[in-house]
Structure 1
Amino acid sequence: MLIHPATPGHAEAIARIYSQGIEERVATFQTRPPHPAEIAAEISAGRLAMVAEAGGRVVGWASVGPYDEAHEYYAGVGEATLYVDRQARRGGTGKALMDALAGEAERRGYHKLVGKIFTSNEASIAMVRACGWREVGVHRRHGRLDGEWKDVLVVERLLGVVG
């Protein structure tokens, strides 16, 4: 498996994998599949995104987005997102991607990553635990998906030396 920064040319594969997560209803509140052009534009604008490839095919992706752009005191905190192709799950792709993403985020000046995981998503919770993330707490009824309230587990990973 090869993990490297995403380019706009990976946008279709990223959209395909993200659409799987949307369809499965276990990882995101998003209900509209992304258009590859939207993803390509974010990558072109400098968004931190990584892809995992196996056999010349993208099998996973991860990115860091802003935690809160409205408040400059949150500079250096990013929100991590990660999805693995359903055919490549449970083989270490997620952990490898998350570790690579954290390393690249630190190189780019982030000091902390946060994430929100549906409390019903046991596989993702196990993966972040294996990657050394800390469970902060649960936001109850954080959002609705298909008319049902979903709780999310808030997790964080401190990067490098925080002073």
Structure 2
Amino acid sequence: MGRIDESKEFIPVRIAVLTVSDSRSLAEDRSGDTLVARLQDAGHVLADRSIVQDERALIADKLRDWCADDGVDVIISTGGTGLTGRDVSVEAHRDVYEKEIEAFGTVFTMVSMQKIGTSAVQSRATGGVAQGTYLFALPGSPGACKDAWDEILKWQLDYRHQPCNFVEIMPRLDGHLRRK
């Protein structure tokens, strides 16, 4: 298990939250609310928040816009990770990724198994990197967002987390873009 190195200073990251839904508004977005509350409680900054319809191109366009924004370090989307025909968040994320973080989906499934048993096989949570920005696609339920944050993202987005974390390598994520 990891630990927090109290000798290091916490570094807040700027996180954008995207809800993928054909039917929700911000007023009804419990999953987005869950993520916003948790990231702010942890000391991070809400960089932006939006809702888009379950359309692959719309999702990918929003992800690309935020990846190009220097004010966004991390994007977390919720919704559209299931198995139905309208669930296209994973495909949209993969359209944008330069590198996929394969283990994120595996670890999320392990966390989910403890909560919902074999129903965890229906989730296609994913993570990746594009333009120096982390992207994570989570299921649309508040419980799944809570589990992903509390068990994975809270720790990996904390610079003090040891033995390693996502924040400490942020400056090198887009190193390939700076090479000549």
Return the TM-score normalized by structure 2. 0.37
**Bigger helix share:** 2
Higher strand proportion (structure 1 or 2) = 1
Bigger relative contact order (CA 8 A; separation at least 6): 2
